[in-house]
């Protein structure tokens, strides 16, 4: 296996409390800490481990979004990726558009394995990997918690509702990873300095021949309803009475 492609999405850091804009047009991002989507960070860690075992020669990270996404790509390079690609897009993207961009890069660069996070924590769609496999015409293994490469075959342990499922897929393939796949490495200052010298390619969406703009338009955002205060009870009898008042028993 030669090249591994990993998608890195720029999202609001998972430690930040998300706030909806006053006009309801989106989520507030001004002055908010942005990070790599946690599932994507796990995907990158797995790709780097595959390369470190000598099972791949190059790890490429890609992000689709504004120029500010360079920050997340630089973090990916500091973790150990060899080069980065930024496909600059103004405005929103949707899973199908992202999958089409990935497919264009796969065809251009000859990718053998694409590893993605199973979903992004901002939209929770969990669709890009499946759509990419469909338009690429290659096998997929989603929600992976373990990955072993043997020649041109990937053995994947998947997390499913009934427990664990083991599947084998022929490469090239698309794999999306779950939280229990690994623990991403900590980025050290020397690695951050080295990352500044690694190549980062910036491409306009039009240069890839992909249609701009999402097919689904989000019209309005609103925060979830505030949760009511809990009810304190003194004993079991009080708990039963409170449940009866609410019609729950």
List the beta bridge partners of residue 155: 148, 168
Whether the Cβ atoms of residue 35 and residue 13 lie closer than 8 Å to each other = yes
Query: Average pLDDT of the chain?
Result: 91
Query: Mean pLDDT across the stretch 181-203?
Result: 92
CA angle 112, 116, 117 (to 5 degrees): 160
Q: Quick check: 92 pLDDT over 80?
A: no
Q: Is 127 or 217 the better-scoring residue by pLDDT?
A: 127
**What distance in Å separates the CA atoms of residue 111 and residue 89, rounded to the nearest whole number?**
22
Q: Quick check: 228 pLDDT over 90?
A: no
Q: Quick check: 81 pLDDT over 90?
A: yes
Neighbouring CB atoms inside 10 A of 10's CB total 22
Q: Give me the pLDDT at residue 129, please.
A: 94
**What distance in Å separates the CA atoms of residue 53 and residue 32, rounded to the nearest whole number?**
37
Q: Quick check: 175 pLDDT over 80?
A: yes
Q: Give me the pLDDT at residue 6, please.
A: 97
Taken in order of first residue, the domains within the chain and their CATH numbers are: 3-245 (3.40.50.620)
Q: What tokens does 2 get?
A: 């030669």
pLDDT, tens digit, for every residue of 197-225?
A: 999 999 988 888 887 667 777 888 888 88
Locus of tokens 């009898």? 237
Locus of tokens 């072993």? 148
Query: Mean pLDDT across the stretch 34-42?
Result: 95
Q: Give me the pLDDT at residue 122, please.
A: 87
Whether the Cβ atoms of residue 115 and residue 141 lie closer than 8 Å to each other = no
Locus of tokens 């499922």? 165
Q: Is 16 or 9 the better-scoring residue by pLDDT?
A: 9
Model confidence band, residue 160 (pLDDT cutoffs 50, 70, 90): confident
Model confidence band, residue 79 (pLDDT cutoffs 50, 70, 90): very high
Q: Give me the pLDDT at residue 212, please.
A: 67
Cα-based torsion angle of the residue sequence 165, 169, 171, 176 in order, rounded to the nearest 10 degrees:
-30
Model confidence band, residue 127 (pLDDT cutoffs 50, 70, 90): very high
Q: Does residue 66 come out as left (phi exceeding 0), alpha (psi in the -120 to 50 range) or beta? A: beta
pTM of the model: 0.85
Q: Give me the pLDDT at residue 223, please.
A: 84
Q: Which of 51-60, 92-101, 156-165, 201-210 has the highest mean pLDDT?
A: 51-60
């Amino acid at each position: 296996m030669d090249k591994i492609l990993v998608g890195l999405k720029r999202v609001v850091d998972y430690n930040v409390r998300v706030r909806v804009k006053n006009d309801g047009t989106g989520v507030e991002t001004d002055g908010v800490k942005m990070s790599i989507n946690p599932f994507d960070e796990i995907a990158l860690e797995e790709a780097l481990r595959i390369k470190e075992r000598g099972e791949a020669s190059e790890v490429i990270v890609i992000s689709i979004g504004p120029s500010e996404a360079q920050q997340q790509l630089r973090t990916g390079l500091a973790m150990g990726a060899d080069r980065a690609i930024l496909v600059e897009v103004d405005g929103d993207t949707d899973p199908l558009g992202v999958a089409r961009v990935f497919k264009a890069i796969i065809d251009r660069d000859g990718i053998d394995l694409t590893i993605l996070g199973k979903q992004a924590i901002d939209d929770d769609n969990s669709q890009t990997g499946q759509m990419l496999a469909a338009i690429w015409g290659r096998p997929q293994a989603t929600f992976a918690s373990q990955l072993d490469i043997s020649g041109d075959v990937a053995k994947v342990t998947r997390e499913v509702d009934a427990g664990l499922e083991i599947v084998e897929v022929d490469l090239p393939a698309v794999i999306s990873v779950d939280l229990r796949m690994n623990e991403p490495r900590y980025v050290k200052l020397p690695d951050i300095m080295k990352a500044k010298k690694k190549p980062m390619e910036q491409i306009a969406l039009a240069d890839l021949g992909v249609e701009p703009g999402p097919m689904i338009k989000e019209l309005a955002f609103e925060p979830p309803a505030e949760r009511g205060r809990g009810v304190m009870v003194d004993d079991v009898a009080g708990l039963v009475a409170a449940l009866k008042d609410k019609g729950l028993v």
